[in-house]
Amino acid sequence: MQNLKMKKMAMVVTIAVLAPLLQTGCNSTPRADANIDQLEQKISRLEPMTGQEQYAPVAVQKARESLEKLKNTKGRGEAYQHQLYLTEKQIEIAEEMVAAERAEELIGSAELRRKDILLEARTREAEQAKSLAAGIAVRAQELAQQVEALQTAETDRGLVLTLGSVLFESGKANLRSGAQRTVERVAEFLNEYPDRSILVEGFTDSEGSESYNRDLSKRRAQAVRDLLVRHGVDGSRVETEGYGEQFPVANNATAEGRQQNRRVEIVVGKTDGGEILDRTTMR
């Protein structure tokens, strides 16, 4: 009887001693599995998806190998804790290297984009410069035509300003847009002699009938007069006349000669208020 009591007491003591150990053993496995799961997730985030670029592949591979070694470590003693520590550090290294390579790639992309932007800006600036240069060239040509179109000469009738055919379209009496500035400059000149009479005379080449050319020359002279008046010249002192193909200054047999004959001449009287001598009486 006494032996039975002693055995029961021994069993109670054994259970009391083993219970905490069993409890510890049961709790240690889930904690270990939780550690491994967490580390597995970290490595998975470092590994590329299908078709994506691998960053720091050597470091990630070492972290993966360290984790596999941890999984194969028997028991949960010092060897396990040591391998757990090594695996965590290896993963930290891999994370840093992956982050560094990603940052470097972003910097490279940003630099490439910056170069693209600079190239685009330079290309745009070059196109603008070309456009500006073309505009300047056109303007320079227009000015050259204006200078060429405006010729002056002192005559017995007074000062004669000759406006070439660049003022008009062929066969038309409407002034070209580029002629506006030429006539404006003439108006500025004429306004320096506000009391002198002005006669605007139109001429054509010999192409076409005589009556048509006379009418065309009159209409061209009138168009120049109207524009002079719009630019401040007193209309009461401006007369017009159309001579058609009369009084050529060059040979109508050549294109160059015909161009010279297609002209408008502005005669400024020699004296204030004095009449301008009629061209037909000067022949």
Residue 25 lies in a domain: no
**Could you tell me if 125 and 162 lie in one domain?**
no
**Could you tell me if 110 and 67 lie in one domain?**
yes
Residue 175 lies in a domain: yes
The predicted structure's pLDDT at residue 245: 93
Residue 3 lies in a domain: no
CA distances from 248 to 66, 107, 241, 254 (A): 106, 76, 15, 12
The 10s digit of each residue's pLDDT in 142-158 is 544 444 445 667 778 88
Whether the model pTM is above 0.75: no
Residue 85 binned pLDDT confidence (cut-offs 50, 70, 90): confident
At residue 280, does pLDDT exceed 90? no
Domain boundary residue among 141, 175, 200?
Answer: 141
Provide the domain limits for residue 202: 156-282
Residue 235 lies in a domain: yes
Residue 9 lies in a domain: no
d(CA 186, CA 175): 14
Domains of the chain: total: 2
**Could you tell me if 48 and 122 lie in one domain?**
yes
Domain boundary residue among 141, 171, 206?
Answer: 141
Residue 154 parent element (H or E): strand 150-155
Residue 22 lies in a domain: no
CA distances from 157 to 151, 236, 270 (A): 16, 19, 7
**CATH code, domain with 174:** 3.30.1330.60
Task: Give the SS3 label for residue 158.
Answer: strand
**Could you tell me if 60 and 127 lie in one domain?**
yes
Residue 136 lies in a domain: yes
Q: Is 7 exposed, middle or buried (0-12, 13-18, 19+ CB in 10 A)?
A: exposed
The predicted structure's pLDDT at residue 19: 42
Residue 123 lies in a domain: yes
